Amino acid sequence: MKSFGVKKKILNRGDNEAFHLQVIIVDEMSKIDKLNKDLGVMESSIVVSIQCLVYNHKPFLRDCLEGFVMQKTNFKFEAIVHDDASTDGSADIIREYAEKYPDIIQPIYRTENLYQKDKVQFREMIIKHYVGKYVAICEGDDYWTDPYKLQKQVDFLEANPDYTMCFHNAEILNTEGIDHFPEKEVEDRDYISDDFLETNLLETNPPTASFVVRREVLDYELVGRERCFYGDLALNLSAAELGKTRGFSDVMSVYRVHGTSAMHSESSAYLLIMRAPVYYEFLRDNFRSLSRSKINNKIGRYYLRRYPYQKKFSKAWFYDLIKGSFLAPHIARKIILEKILGREIK
């Protein structure tokens, strides 16, 4: 503390009266420090940076931002709200909240959509703004429901330095009746790399808006990141490579399913199937903690899901069918048997 430096200077001058005064000041400051620790008050620097990516989320954005500003914590946090050139007036809502809550809402406005232009550059540009020890994630169409969400997750990570990530359950809000894969509930337990492979790419498990990770997880070096078109699973696995990950059964956020969301349009579903084999090969190349048999089986499954979309008897059609059959022979046998029987086998 600065006062110790002052004390040393006064002692050198040999001023006894000033010395006694300084002892009193130091003693009182020690009492204040102790009180702050007893109350759980953390350092004044930003502890959590919230990543909030926004693109045409105007109908949902107020719920999202309210979830940030209602958080009750004993530490400072910020929400980096990045509007990637929305055309629906989302930026106006962000501007309103930034003016009302300048200590929390830190806006970034773009006039050109960078995500569609260059996803790798987009990611690098985003993460350089995060100064917190931890990073929480909530996109503009989801929202938090528990005012103590951040406090609970940071408390856990502070108390358990060997954990790099924690996450929780979310309520699914599907008001439009959109076809959606059933979500697996998050359990109160540790998760390993292979656990994250159990879900389909069209699922979001764990829910994105539940993530809180240590800042260094975002810096985990990945080879061939241009193949990584779906960041959630890669983030989960990066955390699992660097330490332990923990799930909580508490429901502390809402995951919104809607027609314009990135994962639930028909075109997005088609693109996921077409890109999935290369994506899972990217995961296999970067995460050694994954079971080789499980990841190869996953790759084979997606080749076999993709080949019917290729032009029949084309080079791509044969390639997908042969490679998928090699990596996932039991799935290939099932497909052949279904063709012979003319019905689906469960």
Give residue limits of the domains in the chain. Answer: 2-38, 46-256, 266-341
- Tell me, what's the pLDDT at 140? 95
- Tell me, what's the pLDDT at 123? 82
- Tell me, what's the pLDDT at 184? 78
The class (CATH top level) of 46-256 is: alpha beta
CA distance readout (Å), 238 to 88, 161, 214, 230, 296: 34, 16, 11, 13, 19
List alpha helices for the chain, DSSP H: 2-13, 16-38, 58-69, 90-100, 114-117, 119-127, 149-159, 193-196, 231-242, 266-286, 292-306, 315-327, 329-341
- Tell me, what's the pLDDT at 331? 79
Question: Minimal CA–CA distance to 286: which of 214, 215, 236?
Answer: 236
- Whole-angstrom distance, CA of residue 50 vs CA of residue 44: 17
- Whole-angstrom distance, CA of residue 130 vs CA of residue 28: 35
CA distance readout (Å), 270 to 67, 118, 265, 266: 32, 20, 9, 6
- Whole-angstrom distance, CA of residue 20 vs CA of residue 50: 46
3 state SS of 198: coil
Query: Any residues with CB less than 8 A from the CB of 4 and at least 6 apart, and which?
Result: 26
Contact 56, 87 (CB under 8 A): yes
Neighbours of 266 (CB within 10 A): 9
Those residues of the chain that have pLDDT short of 70 are 1-44, 175-183, 200-204, 259-268, 336-346
- Tell me, what's the pLDDT at 213? 98
- Tell me, what's the pLDDT at 200? 64
